[in-house]
Chain A
């Protein structure tokens, strides 16, 4: 077996173009996904069956079916209906980029909503009581205590979700988008060096995941810094 890695160097700029597309896809879906996820998470917590039923079905569908099916449903499925093709939405639903964004956003929002729900429910009741005892208003309580607290709890799981999203973004290549995987496949169609180019693409994905893990570790350290100092500064025996 002879591997010729000079093709990797030759096509590296094109791989980087694909990488930029991947990053755009991931960032946009993550941000939109988080925005969609928050109301879903809040509705899911509700004890009213009518309010929590719809988010439950939404989350169940998007977590229980493959992302590939969801992408195809948006990209190919929407065009089946005359009404969609004639609506104002068509210029958006015609573009593979926006179809990928829609599918990714819905998919990641279902997972993120569960993460948010877990975080909000994980805040000890005592902290809410403490806020009330001190005499905080509800807004103060949320802004100063609960949301920052939930943010700290959410971080590790949310970091994982971003890495999963990064890997899932490779599916955009199935609807003709030239993301990192799509670009790699195009290059391979020309050079016929699948191992070299795919390994290079895999390496780039790996570098991005490691970067994401590193950034999240820093943010986590900062956000949860009170946990680290707590054990040092507060003596065990009063």
Chain B
């Protein structure tokens, strides 16, 4: 059988970090994506500019570079902001926070496009019907528009999550103790690179398969109101 030289537990701990990172980045990214899509569809020009600038920049720069910029740059930026408020201590952000920021920003940029398409796919009649029923715009958004946007956007968001899951491996470059990093440690101790990187690969594959199953379940659930099926 597979002999992991006692590094199995370590790898599982790494998997837990990887999952936490992916889920946190997902939450940040979904919020950014909804905000970005709303900004792009709003009538206010400066908001459109900001959203376009954000998606163009993030989608044109390698994810690894985003991670590196956030990790090494955030300290300087945060300290300069803090010094404005008279705080002069040294501030450092850890690899986890940097990873959530970088991957959340990346996910948000791609999700913006997905949500924009989904928001535009909601028929005008749905908006009108909600207004006719006397719903406030907030209530209309959360009760009528968002659940439908969710259904339309889910396949796209699911794909993005699979990409995000694989991108979490990049954060190991700045020292996060995820699957990749644990595998690196195991390799340097045992000198069996092929074995441990292959095990890591299959762990990611397993996470991918689970995610696909969850997305499939959510898609089914989100479209339960549809008659054709």
Q: Specify which of B60, B80, B169, B195 is in contact with A69 (CB 8 Å cutoff).
A: B169
B208 touches A68 (CB 8 A): no
5 more A-B residue pairs beyond the given contacts A68-B170, A69-B169, with a C-beta to C-beta distance below 8 A? A1-B77, A65-B205, A198-B73, A206-B57, A210-B60
- Once A72-B193, A76-B197, A174-B173 are accepted as A-B contacts, the answer to whether A195 and B73 lie under 8 Å apart by CB is yes
Question: Interface on chain B toward A: helix, strand, loop, or mixed SS?
Answer: helix
B62 touches A73 (CB 8 A): no
Q: Residues on B close to A: CB < 8 A? A: 56-57, 59-66, 68-69, 72-73, 76-77, 79-80, 162, 166-170, 172-173, 180, 183, 187, 191-195, 197-198, 200-202, 204-205, 208-209
Is A186 close to B, CB under 8 A? no
Is A20 close to B, CB under 8 A? no
- Once A61-B201, A67-B166 are accepted as A-B contacts, the answer to whether A171 and B60 lie under 8 Å apart by CB is no
A206 touches B60 (CB 8 A): yes
B197 touches A73 (CB 8 A): yes
Question: Interface on chain A toward B: helix, strand, loop, or mixed SS?
Answer: helix
- Once A76-B193, A77-B193 are accepted as A-B contacts, the answer to whether A194 and B62 lie under 8 Å apart by CB is no
Q: Which of A1, A72, A170 has the most CB of B within 10 A?
A: A72
- How far in angstroms is the closest Cβ of chain A from B213? 13
- Once A65-B201, A68-B170, A194-B72 are accepted as A-B contacts, the answer to whether A80 and B191 lie under 8 Å apart by CB is yes
Give residues of chain A (181-198) contacting chain B, Cβ–Cβ below 8 Å. 181, 184-185, 188, 194-195, 198
Instruction: Report chain B residues within 8 Å CB of A184.
Output: 65
CB nearest neighbor in B for A167: B62
B65 touches A64 (CB 8 A): no
Q: Specify which of B65, B76, B201, B208 is in contact with A205 (CB 8 Å cutoff).
A: B65
Give residues of chain A (41-74) contacting chain B, Cβ–Cβ below 8 Å. 60-61, 64-70, 72-73
Provide the bound-state CA to CA distance between A64 and B166, in Å.
Answer: 8
Q: Residues on A close to B: CB < 8 A? A: 1, 60-61, 64-70, 72-73, 76-81, 163, 166-171, 173-174, 181, 184-185, 188, 194-195, 198-199, 201-202, 205-206, 209-210
Q: Specify which of A72, A78, A170 is in contact with B62 (CB 8 Å cutoff).
A: A170
B65 touches A170 (CB 8 A): yes
Offer 28 A-B interface pairs, CB within 8 angstroms, sorted by A: A1-B77, A1-B79, A61-B201, A64-B208, A64-B209, A66-B166, A66-B167, A66-B180, A67-B166, A68-B169, A68-B170, A69-B180, A69-B201, A72-B193, A72-B197, A73-B193, A73-B198, A76-B193, A76-B197, A167-B62, A170-B63, A184-B65, A185-B68, A195-B72, A195-B77, A202-B57, A209-B60, A210-B60
Number of A-B contacts (CB under 8 A): 122
Instruction: Report chain A residues within 8 Å CB of B183.
Output: 69, 72
- Once A76-B193, A80-B191 are accepted as A-B contacts, the answer to whether A201 and B65 lie under 8 Å apart by CB is yes
- Once A194-B69, A194-B72 are accepted as A-B contacts, the answer to whether A206 and B61 lie under 8 Å apart by CB is yes
Provide the bound-state CA to CA distance between A85 and B162, in Å.
Answer: 35
A68 touches B194 (CB 8 A): no
- Once A167-B63, A209-B60 are accepted as A-B contacts, the answer to whether A198 and B72 lie under 8 Å apart by CB is yes
CB nearest neighbor in A for B196: A77
CB nearest neighbor in B for A172: B64
Q: Specify which of A1, A65, A174, A202 is in contact with B65 (CB 8 Å cutoff).
A: A202
Provide the bound-state CA to CA distance between A163 and B183, in Å.
Answer: 29
- How far in angstroms is the closest Cβ of chain A from B196? 9
B204 touches A69 (CB 8 A): yes
A66 touches B204 (CB 8 A): yes
Provide the bound-state CA to CA distance between A64 and B183, in Å.
Answer: 18
- Once A195-B73, A198-B72 are accepted as A-B contacts, the answer to whether A70 and B195 lie under 8 Å apart by CB is no
Instruction: Report chain A residues within 8 Å CB of B187.
Output: 76
Q: Specify which of B169, B194, B195, B198 is in contact with A66 (CB 8 Å cutoff).
A: B169
Q: Which of A60, A78, A198, A206 has the most CB of B within 10 A?
A: A198
Provide the bound-state CA to CA distance between A65 and B166, in Å.
Answer: 6
Instruction: Report chain B residues within 8 Å CB of A194.
Output: 68-69, 72-73, 76
- How far in angstroms is the closest Cβ of chain A from B150? 25
Instruction: Report chain A residues within 8 Å CB of B62.
Output: 166-170, 181, 205
